[in-house]
Amino acid sequence: MMFDDDQMALRDVARRFAREKLRPDYQKRESQPGIDRALFKEMGSLGLIGVDLPEEYGGLGLSGVTAGMITEEIAYGDFNVSYMQLLSSLMGAIIHANASPELARTWNSRIVAGEAIVALGLTEPRGGSDAANLQLKARRVGDEYVLSGEKTSITFADQADAMVLFARTGKPEDVARGISAFLVDLNQPGVQRTRFNDVGSKIIGRGSVFFDDVRVPVENRLGEEGKGFTQVMQGFDFSRILIALQCVAAAQASIDEAWEYVKERQTFGAPLAQYQGVSFPLVEFETLIAACRQLCYHGLALRDAGQPHTAEAAMVKWMGPKTAFDAIHQCLLTFGHYGWSMDLPHQQRLRDVMGLEIGDGTAQIMKLIVARERVGRAAVQYAKESKK
C-alpha cells in the first residue's frame, strides 16, 4: 500500500510513539490491573485516536486506510494499547452515524481526546456467534428505556465509561428485527461488572456487565427502534479489518526480532541465518503476513470508495489472527530455548493474538460470510433446512 506524504508524516508520529514509548514496556504493562489512561490521553494529544472521525469532534476526518495504518503502527509497539484506536474508530463511527448531534458531540469529543472508553455490548451468555439471539430487554417507560439483563465477554467490561449496547425491544421471534441499540453510561445505579481471568490481553480485560432496571433516556437510542441490529452492525466490516491489522503488526514485530536474532546467533561456526531450515520458515511467514496486510488495505480502500468490502473483511478476520499466531509461534521456536521464556515477548503476543481467533467472529463464521457473499443464501440454506 502506498501512502501519501500526509499519511507518512502521521505514520512517523505513530511509529515513534509505538516503538519508543509503548514497545519497551509491552510486557511490563501486562501485570498492571488495567490500562493506563495517561497513555490514551497522550495518544489523543498526538492525534492518534479516531483519526477517521470528523473534525467537529477533534478528529482529523481522514480515511479508513489511514485509521488502519495508525492501528498497525500502534499494535507493533503494544497489541493491547492499539485496541483503543480500533474501538474508538468503530464506536465513534457508530455514534456519529446513529446518535443525535448533541449526544455524538459529547461522547466522540471525549473519545478522540483519549478521555473516554466506549465498549461494545453485543455478546450474551446464550449467544456468541448467534449475535441476534439476545435476551437483555429494553422496556419503554415514558421518555426512558429500562434495561434488564446481562452482557458477557465484553472487552473493557470493568474499565469502560459507556457502552453501545444491543437490547431486545421486540418479541424474541422477531430475531434481529426486534433489536435496538443504545448508548449507555455505565457509571450509574443498577450497573454491576465482573472481570475474567483471561489467557491474554490482560490490561484490557474482559468480563460481564449486569443491568438491573437501568434507565436510559430515549435520546440515547441509536437509530430507530427495532432496527438497531441491522443499522448499527453495518460498521463491523471496518473493525474486522482493523483487527487483522492488529494481528499483522504483532506478527511483524516477532518476525523482525527473529531476523535480528538469526543474523547474530552463531552455531557450528556460522550465523543461523545461513541455514535454510531456519530462514525459509521466516520467509514463508513474512510472505503470508505481507499478503494479509495488502488484503487489509485493499478492503479499507474499498470501504473509503463506498464499495462493498464484506467478503474482504471476513477473509482477513479469519486469516489475520490465525496466520499471526502461526508466525509468532515459529518465531518463538526460532529463538530455541531462549524463546521458551516469559522474558521474551513472543509468548505474550501468542496469547494476545489468539483471543482474536475467537472474538469478533470465529473463522467458521467468517468463512460462512465469504461463501454467502459469493454464492448467496445457498451457502447457508442447507444448514437451515437440516434443522427443521
106-117 tens-digit pLDDT: 999 999 999 999
Could you tell me if residue 384 is inside a domain?
no
Mark whether 348 and 243 lie in a shared domain: yes
Q: Which of 115, 132, 166 is the last residue of a domain?
A: 115
**Which of 54-63, 133-142, 165-174, 197-206 has the least mean pLDDT?**
165-174
- Mean pLDDT over residues 62-76, rounded? 97
- Mean pLDDT over residues 234-262, rounded? 96
pLDDT value of position 375? 93
Mark whether 232 and 363 lie in a shared domain: yes
Mark whether 104 and 200 lie in a shared domain: no
Q: Is the pLDDT of residue 11 over 60?
A: yes
Mark whether 234 and 316 lie in a shared domain: yes
Could you tell me if residue 383 is inside a domain?
no
pLDDT value of position 387? 46
27-49 tens-digit pLDDT: 999 999 899 999 999 999 999 99
Residue range of the domain that includes 136: 117-224
Could you tell me if residue 65 is inside a domain?
yes
Stated as kind and residue range, the H or E segment containing 167 is strand 162-168
Mark whether 110 and 17 lie in a shared domain: yes
Mark whether 326 and 294 lie in a shared domain: yes
For CA atoms 328, 50, 63, 356, the dihedral sign is positive
Could you tell me if residue 248 is inside a domain?
yes
Q: Which of 89, 115, 141 is the last residue of a domain?
A: 115
Mark whether 289 and 363 lie in a shared domain: yes
Q: Is the pLDDT of residue 148 over 90?
A: yes
Q: Is the pLDDT of residue 227 over 90?
A: no
pLDDT value of position 386? 44
The pLDDT-based confidence of 126 (bands split at 50, 70, 90) is confident
SS3 180: strand
CATH number of the domain enclosing 106: 1.10.540.10
Q: How far apart are CA 68 and CA 294, in angstroms?
A: 11
Could you tell me if residue 386 is inside a domain?
no
299-310 tens-digit pLDDT: 999 999 999 999
Mark whether 365 and 231 lie in a shared domain: yes
pLDDT value of position 173? 77
The answer to whether the beta carbons of residues 252 and 82 sit under 8 Å apart is no
What is the overall mean pLDDT for the chain? 93
Mark whether 126 and 109 lie in a shared domain: no
Could you tell me if residue 388 is inside a domain?
no
Q: Is the pLDDT of residue 388 over 50?
A: no
Q: Is the pLDDT of residue 91 over 80?
A: yes
Q: Is the pLDDT of residue 139 over 60?
A: yes
Q: Which of 95, 115, 135 is the last residue of a domain?
A: 115
- Mean pLDDT over residues 292-318, rounded? 97
Mark whether 327 and 242 lie in a shared domain: yes
CATH number of the domain enclosing 159: 2.40.110.10
pLDDT value of position 323? 98
Name the domain count of the chain. Answer: 3
pLDDT value of position 384? 52
Could you tell me if residue 148 is inside a domain?
yes
- Mean pLDDT over residues 376-384, rounded? 67
Percent of the residues in the chain that have a pLDDT greater than 70, as a whole number: 96
pLDDT value of position 381? 64
Mark whether 355 and 238 lie in a shared domain: yes
Write the CB contacts of 194 (distance below 8 Å, at least 6 apart in sequence): 157, 158, 207, 208, 209, 210
Could you tell me if residue 387 is inside a domain?
no
Mark whether 193 and 249 lie in a shared domain: no
- Mean pLDDT over residues 338-352, rounded? 96
Percent of the residues in the chain that have a pLDDT greater than 90, as a whole number: 86
Q: How far apart are CA 201 and CA 346, in angstroms?
A: 13
The pLDDT-based confidence of 150 (bands split at 50, 70, 90) is very high
Cell of 306: 463506498
Strands in 186-303 per DSSP E: 191-193, 206-217, 221-222, 266-267, 270-271
Top pLDDT among 129 and 289 is at 289
Q: For the residues of 195-224, what is the DSSP string, one character each? A: ----SS-TTT-EEEEEEEEEEEEGGGEESS
Top pLDDT among 132 and 38 is at 38
